[in-house]
Structure 1
């Protein structure tokens, strides 16, 4: 899997051997943006065109386009887990936010 970027949007690309075409999807937002091409230059242009089409569509509808993830999210945890995470963060000399972030970074880099 290959990752491409355009204006903060992140697309992943796969190859369909049977159709002999590359296809991609923007993954860092909830809305669906797809693109395809038969070469690297076509893929780059298709990603840019698809993102620009998405932004134009949102403008036409008078809606704010969904931005790539902001870095803010809410996690709901059982009170006992919340307490245990808070204690672990304090023992590590970190804020709860920093402790959760560093724990998640370690988990996704495995």
Structure 2
């Protein structure tokens, strides 16, 4: 899946065949933000406008906007799995973090 990106926010894009428009949804935040457009240019403009309006609204309300994912991920593993991961990373000459990031990257098809 391809995503659009603006100011650190990512959006998933779908095509609505009934209305013949592209619809976008912001990923990775609790607040719900969506936008739409009939062309790629219109969609991109609507995406930027949605993010800018969201950030302005949060500032006016004196509230923190939801931030996209930080890149930090805490995992709890069984000790046996932790040991197996550490061994696999060591065999490839990588830190556990780099090895896990590579595995997750491959698994998520990005």
| TM-score band w.r.t. shorter chain | 0.7 to 0.9
In structure 2, the CA distance between the partners of 1:2 and 1:109, relative to structure 1 (3 Å rule), is closer
Q: Does 1:36 align with 2:32?
A: no
Q: TM-score, normalised by structure 2?
A: 0.84
**Where do residues 55-74 of structure 1 align in structure 2 (5 Å cutoff)?**
55-74=55-74
CA RMSD, Structure 1 to Structure 2 (Å): 1.9
Find the counterpart in structure 1 of residue 24 from structure 2: 24
Q: Would you say the 8 A contact 1:22–1:39 is kept in 2?
A: yes
Where structure 1 has 5 or more consecutive residues not aligned to the other structure, the ranges are none
Pick which of 76-85 and 61-70 moved more: 61-70
Kindly state the Cα deviation for residue 2 of structure 1 after the two structures are TM-superposed. 5.0
Q: In the alignment, which residue of structure 2 is the partner of 1:75? A: 75
1:34 Cα deviation after fit = 0.6
Structure 1 counterpart of 2:105: 105
SS of the aligned residue for 1:57 comes to helix
CA distance in 2, matches of 1:37, 1:49: 12
Q: Give, in angstroms, the shift of residue 30 of structure 1.
A: 3.6
Quote how far apart the aligned CAs of 1:48 are: 1.0
Query: For 1:41-56, what aligned pairs fall within 5 Å after superposition?
Result: 41-56=41-56
Residue 28 of structure 1: CA displacement? 3.7
Q: What is residue 86 of structure 1 aligned with on the other side?
A: 86
Alpha-carbon spacing, 1:98–1:65, altered in 2? closer, same or farther (3 Å):
same
Structure 2 alignment gaps of length 5 or more: none
